[in-house]
Amino acid sequence: MAAASARRGRPTGDTGTHPSRLPGDEPAGPTSAGPEAASARSFVDNITGHPTSVAGRSAQDIADQFTTAGYRATVEQSRKKGTSGHAVQVRVEGHPEITNIQVHPGGGRHTPDGSPYWKISTNTAGKTWVIPRDFRGAEELGGNVVRYDE
């Protein structure tokens, strides 16, 4: 389940931004109202306290949650040299803690194909890796490491 959802997180050209906002016209914080926005705000505001909540979610789903909560979020394919090239970045603007969430569908040096992981970057607590049991090199990661399948 988690692997299939993570694979669907590949960018499709949709930036995940609110369709009626122009660049530079983003709110400073959440401004959306209603139960859907409240649920999305609850999800995004609790990620640092409950990082495993991102497990099983695609990059686009995560970006949509931030957008619904009133933050600007864009999805882009990672272009970092020396990597597998499979990772998808969710760039977040305006959230008081979270700046980026990397969604990796698996495959490459850390996990076998179909074994996804997530890296949450914050401006308050550094990096948190949400990884599976079969992740290779966990002891070398910088930041907090949380396993989602134990």
**Tokens linked to 2:** 């988690």
Residue 26 within any structural domain of the chain = no
For residue 106, the enclosing domain spans: 2-17+32-147
pLDDT tens track for 63-101: 999 999 999 999 998 876 555 677 999 999 999 999 999
Residue type for position 89? Q
Residue 23 within any structural domain of the chain = no
Residue 88 within any structural domain of the chain = yes
Residue 24 within any structural domain of the chain = no
Residue 131 within any structural domain of the chain = yes
Residue 37 within any structural domain of the chain = yes
Q: What is the pLDDT of residue 31?
A: 52
Residue 89 within any structural domain of the chain = yes
Question: Are 60 and 107 spatial neighbours (Cβ–Cβ below 8 Å)?
Answer: no
Cβ neighbours, 10 Å, residue 79 = 9
The tally of domains found in the chain comes to 1
